[in-house]
Structure 1
Amino acid sequence: MPKGEGRLLAQNKKARHDYAIEETFEAGIVLQGTEIKSVRNARVNLKDAYARIDRGEIFLHNMHISPYEQGNRYNHDPLRTRKLLLHKKQISKLIGETKEAGYSIIPLKMYIKDGYAKVLIGVAKGKKKYDKRQDLKSKEAKRDVERAFKERQR
């Protein structure tokens, strides 16, 4: 199964607009008991989330997982820092890539694959305002061409 496939739970659509994604990695995520139940119910928000490398380990910050309704006192903190599971080689590669100025690690998608929660993270470089405008123009031009082609076929 290629990267990013499985039952999609959450997607960070704003990420592709704000960042140029250089490379992606599939990572496992360490969750507490009631968190996985909320994740399976697709109660996840990746909007402002980002990953940071600390002492050779990678952690996901600011990802919101809503408390589980039947969780009572066993519920978790919705915004707690969660550890991502990657191979050491992948982490060292990420360390090398994020040492450069302007690069960061952001989650793109969260999905269930083979019964496990996975996060697709990307090494991203922030886009400037003119880059975003250029992307919108090219997207619009492509849409116009497709529309014209469709009308021509009729």
Structure 2
Amino acid sequence: MAKETGRKLIAQNKKARHDYHIIDTYECGLVLTGTEVKSLRQGRASLADGFAQLDNGEAWLHNVHIPEYSQGTWTNHSARRRRKLLLHRAEIDKLVHKTQETGHTIVPLSLYFKDGRAKVEVALAKGKKDYDKRQALREKQDRRETDRAISAARRRERGRV
């Protein structure tokens, strides 16, 4: 059997980009049990309430929901257990220093397989205020409207030629 290559997305946390200013991103490995990997290969996971925490020089991922594997037996995992993140020591030290600043947190952005290994992209983030969220939404709508206007003008121009 050929080895898996490329990137296969399992889950994304779209709400994180809406609720937080993303300062820096990191790609981390994940310590998983066998049934968790099988459940992820079926494309089942949710990052909605997830966050990362640093304690005793280790990074841990909390509240990420990986449902139990349907064909699992007594060896099945609990769905919301905390999972260890695999980061380099320098990255952990940098995150410890940055998260001590007020308002900074670590949130998971996406969960995926890269060359057959489960990876999670986490971000150092700062929470947005309500007016920041409204401003971002307004900018997104304005961009969409200008793109529509430009494409409509191009269609009209093509019709004349």
Aligned Cα root-mean-square deviation (Å):
0.8
Residue 97 of structure 1: aligned partner: 98
Residue 116 of structure 1: aligned partner: 117
Q: Secondary structure at the match of 1:22?
A: strand
| 2:43 aligned partner, one-letter code | A
Residue 13 of structure 1: aligned partner: 14
Equivalences for 1:103-142 in 2 at 5 Å?
Answer: 103-142=104-143
- In 1, distance between residues paired with 2:107 and 2:94? 15
Residue 27 of structure 1: aligned partner: 28
Consecutive unaligned residues of structure 2, counting only runs of 5 or more, are 1-5, 157-161
- In 1, distance between residues paired with 2:145 and 2:117? 41
Deviation by residue 1:85-109 (Cα, 9 ceiling, x = unmatched): 0000000011111110000000000
Q: Is it true that 1:83 corresponds to 2:76 in the alignment?
A: no
Deviation by residue 1:128-150 (Cα, 9 ceiling, x = unmatched): 00000000111111111111111
| 2:125 aligned partner, one-letter code | A
Deviation by residue 1:1-30 (Cα, 9 ceiling, x = unmatched): xxxx71100000100000010000000000
Residue 145 of structure 2: aligned partner: 144
TM-score normalised by L of structure 2: 0.91
- In 2, distance between residues paired with 1:109 and 1:21? 13
Residue 66 of structure 1: aligned partner: 67
- Figure out how many residues of one structure are paired with residues of the other and give that number: 150
- In 1, distance between residues paired with 2:86 and 2:130? 33
- In 2, distance between residues paired with 1:141 and 1:64? 35
| 1:18 aligned partner, one-letter code | D
Larger C-alpha radius of gyration, 1 or 2?
A: 2
Q: Secondary structure at the match of 1:83?
A: strand
Identity %: 53
**Structure 1 runs of 4+ off > 6 angstroms?**
none
Consecutive unaligned residues of structure 1, counting only runs of 5 or more, are none
**C-alpha deviation, 1:115, in angstroms:** 1.1
| 1:22 aligned partner, one-letter code | I
Q: Secondary structure at the match of 1:7?
A: strand
- In 2, distance between residues paired with 1:82 and 1:67? 15
- In 2, distance between residues paired with 1:114 and 1:149? 39
